[in-house]
Amino acid sequence: MAVIEFLSADLNFKLPEIKKTREWLGACAKREKCTLELIQYIFCSDQYLLAINRDYLKHDTLTDIITFDYSNGRNLEGEIYISLERVRENARQYGVLFSEELRRVMVHGVLHLAGHSDKSAREKAQMRKREDACLSLWKK
């Protein structure tokens, strides 16, 4: 049975539609021929995620997501840290709703756990296609 937890680190945030989000993330994993085992989403500020980026990845830049992968084959496990400030800024920049950009970032983490990378331009384009396919599974 999949366990998907939604936690807040240094800010007060409550994800709306938790049950629907869990079902959707499970459907996204299934689309990738994977199973969600244990996923923890930790919502945080830019500064919190920047500290993680510096300490663990040795990067001194802001980012919207950092994924720690503890998966075993196609059984996905991990911690997914998301900066809500970056998500808000990206939503403004791309002209989309915060909720839509948040879902994109959330599924981006699942796709990383499923083994997909986004280092090269080609990989980024493929990742975007996968994100779009997963976003289409969200029922309005």
Assign domain 3-135 to its CATH architecture.
Answer: 3-Layer(aba) Sandwich (3.40)
Q: Given a cut of 90, is residue 1 above it in pLDDT?
A: no
Q: Rounded distance, CA 131 to CA 109, Å?
A: 10
Tell me: the pLDDT tens digits for 63-104? 999 999 999 999 999 999 999 999 999 999 999 999 999 999
The 65-69 sheet, strands edge to edge = 3-8, 35-44, 75-83, 65-69
- From the list 73, 84, 70, the residue with the least C-alpha distance to 39 is 70
pTM attached to this predicted model: 0.95
- Cβ 104 vs Cβ 131: under 8 Å: yes
Q: Rounded distance, CA 51 to CA 57, Å?
A: 10
SS3 60: coil
Residue 93 CB neighbours (<10 A) = 9
- Average pLDDT of the residues in 54-70: 95
Q: Where are the domains of the chain?
A: 3-135
Tell me: the pLDDT tens digits for 16-45? 999 999 999 999 999 999 999 999 999 999
Q: Given a cut of 70, is residue 123 above it in pLDDT?
A: yes
